[in-house]
Structure 1
């Protein structure tokens, strides 16, 4: 499926869009759908849509029912149990919201915003992710670095990446090259890229289906996997426009993931996971700079 892209650019560059990865195979609905009637829901409630909330929280690393075998009877129902309350609190804590433990308006509003599909909390996931490092004072998260002898990264993209998307994509990579030790080099052989980029829709075979317009925007896999997918059902724009998702802004964020950075809870950071339609994020926050330098010191 070809992505829908709104653009006034005609100049073609070689480029990449690097998007983030969510670590649950459960299909989820867009938060705007299932959260609509859940405002005010709390522990002990039964409400239609809570099963989707559980999938959403698991998708982003806030709950893992495998850690609570006594609660396993509620994995696939609409009951707001202790596990959900704990996950909501974890979400609220990450984003510095009031720790109410229920779906108050502030929490619902933030959950409803489009975002990166990379989990915020990787502590619930150990296989394949490596150790997550975070200092007490820092807001950035370090997940996994490229090897020390790997500072030239090749990228390739599938045929569904259109010319209109390439200008802002390459601009995002060039920005990261200014504050990191990496050079980005195109290869025209798709399978040869350290990073392989494509637009995908719904269930696209990697175990992490997209949810259509809204909700999860994209995902990627940490070094050294390099597969990069973003949701073809979004309306992507090569410049900031109301009602569209800005390619440069999302690419800038997701390039940070492909280099090994996790999410930041600093709303001024490029690595903050939520972004609104028609919004552009200014690079880089000090947290982004501190994070990439901590991940790749002495380079």
Structure 2
């Protein structure tokens, strides 16, 4: 009788430990990719020392974090009443920073703690596009079709687009001087051609490579540091690239990154997929701002050794709202994009199911003992 009473209690404790361990493993695996490359020095690695900072904290580096949030449109300088001189950023975690962190967490679906917890610091440290998130901060979600309850795509202020007769023909060219030499030109050209082709398949816009760099609509180059456009690059795994809204056409990539078109031939843990970044920045060239959907091509961050090569429903709907649909684009392609965007969630559910199935089998064995 005693063993009958002990076994359920022991079993309960074992199950509790298993569930706790499984939950911990799932959370750790969610941030593993972020943490993995943060072991390597890079421009935003310094923010790791701010982990668990909260309102009232005073730590060296908070001023730089405020500058980071200011650059991407979240944190605004406070101006004194008597003049227009900006107050320098301080290392105090003040009320304004707490509001900024909370808003940042809300925008990207993180727990709204107002503190620099692990998930927040992980996202802040992730390499990303240099285009600010102004329109994400001020967005008002709009209801849409049955495929999506809410639209998350956004535009630049004034909703600029290439204002030409449909179908639109845009030329692009690579800088004769500002390129990288460890990838061949056929590899670089191939990555960009595939990226342009993906956008051209859904809207009535054709992209044609030209050798005339000066007259090209879109000008592509790799640059280091301050390169004359007012938005200097910052080094390894910080800002990866930036592109300007229509009809500017400038597309700049950070030459400090380790760019690749094939992860099988590039072993660097900080390698960045060129085609994925090209696909994202072309969205900006067409007029799209950032999306808050992580699976979307227009999501601002991209981890090292990550590939994001499929346009999602939000990307498609956003750009078609600007230019209309390619006559050859079908509803089936839209449904395929929506279905494939759910694969990540399905994989996670599948892992959870396997865990629960194993636990159930364990329970049956224990009860039969």
TM-score scaled by length of structure 1: 0.81
Pairing 1:119-268 to 2, within 5 Å after superposition? 119-122=132-135, 135-136=142-143, 137-143=150-156, 144-149=160-165, 151-159=168-176, 160-161=178-179, 163=185, 164-240=187-263, 241-242=266-267, 243=269, 244-268=271-295
2:64 counterpart of 1:59: no
TM-score scaled by length of structure 2: 0.66
CA shift digits 1:121-157 (9 cap, x unpaired): 23789xxxxxx88625201112222214271111122
> For structure 2, which runs of at least 5 residues remain unmatched after alignment?
1-41, 144-149, 327-369
Structure 1 residue 176: deviation in Å?
Answer: 0.8
Alpha-carbon distance change, 124 to 287 in structure 1, aligned in 2, over 3 angstroms: closer
If you compute each CA radius of gyration, which structure gives the higher value, 1 or 2? 2
RMSD value over aligned CA atoms? 2.4
Q: 1:133·1:141 contact (CA, 8 Å) conserved in 2?
A: no
Q: How many residue pairs end up in the alignment?
A: 263
Alpha-carbon distance change, 286 to 193 in structure 1, aligned in 2, over 3 angstroms: same
Q: 2:135·2:154 contact (CA, 8 Å) conserved in 1?
A: no
Structure 1 residue 274: deviation in Å?
Answer: 1.0
Structure 1 runs (4+) deviating above 3 angstroms are 72-75, 122-125
- Aligned pair partner of 1:275 in 270, 285, 302: 302
Alpha-carbon distance change, 53 to 233 in structure 1, aligned in 2, over 3 angstroms: same
User: Of the two structures, which has the highest relative contact order with CA contacts closer than 8 Å and spacing of 6 or more?
Assistant: 1
Structure 1 residue 204: deviation in Å?
Answer: 1.3
Q: Distance in 2 between matches of 1:224 and 1:133?
A: 25
Q: 2:275·2:309 contact (CA, 8 Å) conserved in 1?
A: no
Aligned to 2:61: 49
Alpha-carbon distance change, 133 to 223 in structure 1, aligned in 2, over 3 angstroms: farther
CA shift digits 1:160-205 (9 cap, x unpaired): 3350322111111111100121111223222211111110001111
95-104 vs 150-159, greater mean Cα deviation? 150-159
CA shift digits 1:30-50 (9 cap, x unpaired): 2222x1210011222211111
Alpha-carbon distance change, 148 to 135 in structure 1, aligned in 2, over 3 angstroms: farther
- Aligned pair partner of 1:115 in 122, 125, 128: 128
Aligned to 2:322: 295
Higher helix share: 2
Q: Distance in 1 between matches of 2:254 and 2:141?
A: 29
